[in-house]
Copies of this chain bind each other. A is one copy, B any other.
Amino acid sequence: MPPSLATKAATLHDVAREAGVSLITASRALGNPSLVSEKTIERVQKAVEATGYIPNLLAGGLKSRRSLLVVGLVPAISVAQFLPTVQALTEALDAAGYQLILGQSGYDHAREEKLLNTMISRRPDGIVVTGLVHSPVARERLRRAGIPVVETWDLSDHPVDMLVGFSHLKVGSAIAGYFLGKGWQRLGIATGDDHRASVRREGFLATVGREVPTAVVPAPSSLALGRLALAELLEKDPATEAVYCSSDQLAQGVLVEAQARGLRIPQDLAVCGFGDADFAAHMQPSLTTVHVDGAAIGRLAAQLIVERCRGQTVAQPVVDVGFRIVERQSTGGPSVKTGPMPPKGS
């Protein structure tokens, strides 16, 4: 940027002078027009154009104590699962005049604490966390800060503040029930090593009622790791009939590896994923999986934050959005060809 062009930005002061009104009148004309006459508003708006004024939210936020900033924390941006949530969150917040600051908390408590501190120093009007806040120090700090917090994608008896999620224990249990209902006995689990996946596994085991061969892969999971996982499972039990995978990416890898080994799906091996990624319905064979409305989670989280910021009392601070098993060909579901589809909205 040639420094010559970087002339000092116009301030509200300049606008007020240009419009021939006082500072505060200019401020109101822009931020609270109902208090100002139409004529003045017009003059101020003209002055804004003339000066090229762009408001300074830092200064405004300092006085008004509303930063119009919301912090969003994800374990890592590349975790596809949370993308619809982040996208919907960003959109819903934007519509209400808020922007999202993104942070990657990793899978590490120390980092989570440090990051939250940094973020709180921005005085955000709200914080949305994917998953629960695990570090006790961080939980306490958030409570102290008095900032509206929404934990998501999980359920807890003791949320920091508000929560939009569902029970991973029930998900695991539901999948196990589904497998048992199909009469499959020789089961396998391919799972990531993160907290939520572990809870799903617990639910799965609780319903099965005994140990099940398991391949654990480091998060974030991927197609490549799925291939590896199936290899491991077949080594443990070559006659495995059905595998539950903690993500659709993992399940895709399991399918690829199974096909590479000449196994027929689902006759020789049934597979169930988690997440209902956009490709799940359109693979060949299509993938049975667990659908969670990630976009709804984002929208609801935004709504809770905004309501709080407006001083409204939130009727339902803990929302369970539930989930549902979507049965497709990989577990012998309906073999109707799903076929090419129009693009999804958004």
Partner of A228, one of B58, B161, B283, B341: B341
Q: Which residues of B contact A260 (CB under 8 A)?
A: 284, 337
- The segment out of A139-147, A170-178, A181-189, A203-211 that lies at the interface is A139-147
> Across the interface, do A67 and B58 meet the contact criterion of CB distance under 8 Å?
yes
A315 at interface by CB-CB < 8 Å: no
> Across the interface, do A90 and B77 meet the contact criterion of CB distance under 8 Å?
yes
In the assembled complex, the Cα of A278 lies from the Cα of B229 at a distance in Å of 16
Closest to A84 in B: B78
| Given A78-B84, A87-B78, A104-B91: A224 touches B282 (CB 8 Å cut-off) | yes
> Across the interface, do B253 and A282 meet the contact criterion of CB distance under 8 Å?
yes
> Across the interface, do B222 and A279 meet the contact criterion of CB distance under 8 Å?
yes
Closest to A220 in B: B343
The tally of residues in A whose CB lies under 8 Å from a CB in B reads 83
In the assembled complex, the Cα of A343 lies from the Cα of B115 at a distance in Å of 25
> Across the interface, do A282 and B227 meet the contact criterion of CB distance under 8 Å?
yes
Q: Which residues of B contact A231 (CB under 8 A)?
A: 340
Q: Which residues of B contact A278 (CB under 8 A)?
A: 222-224
- The segment out of A21-29, A49-57, A266-274 that lies at the interface is A49-57
> Across the interface, do A56 and B283 meet the contact criterion of CB distance under 8 Å?
no
- The segment out of A38-46, A119-127, A194-202, A239-247 that lies at the interface is A119-127
Q: Which residues of B contact A120 (CB under 8 A)?
A: 54
Copies in the complex: 2
In the assembled complex, the Cα of A90 lies from the Cα of B104 at a distance in Å of 8
A76 at interface by CB-CB < 8 Å: yes
CB distance from A133 to the nearest CB of B (A): 14
Q: Which residues of B contact A146 (CB under 8 A)?
A: 1, 3, 5-7, 9
> Across the interface, do A5 and B144 meet the contact criterion of CB distance under 8 Å?
yes
> Across the interface, do A1 and B148 meet the contact criterion of CB distance under 8 Å?
yes
A132 at interface by CB-CB < 8 Å: no
Q: Which residues of B contact A86 (CB under 8 A)?
A: 77, 102
Q: Which residues of B contact A56 (CB under 8 A)?
A: 62, 121, 123
A117 at interface by CB-CB < 8 Å: yes
| Given A87-B78, A104-B90, A343-B218: A223 touches B283 (CB 8 Å cut-off) | yes
Which chain A residues have a beta carbon within 8 Å of chain B's beta carbons?
1, 3, 5-7, 9, 52, 54-59, 61-62, 67, 69, 72, 76-78, 80, 83-84, 86-87, 90-91, 94, 99-104, 115, 117-123, 141, 143-149, 161, 217-218, 220, 222-225, 227-229, 231, 249, 252-253, 256-257, 259-260, 278-279, 281-284, 337, 339-341, 343-344, 346
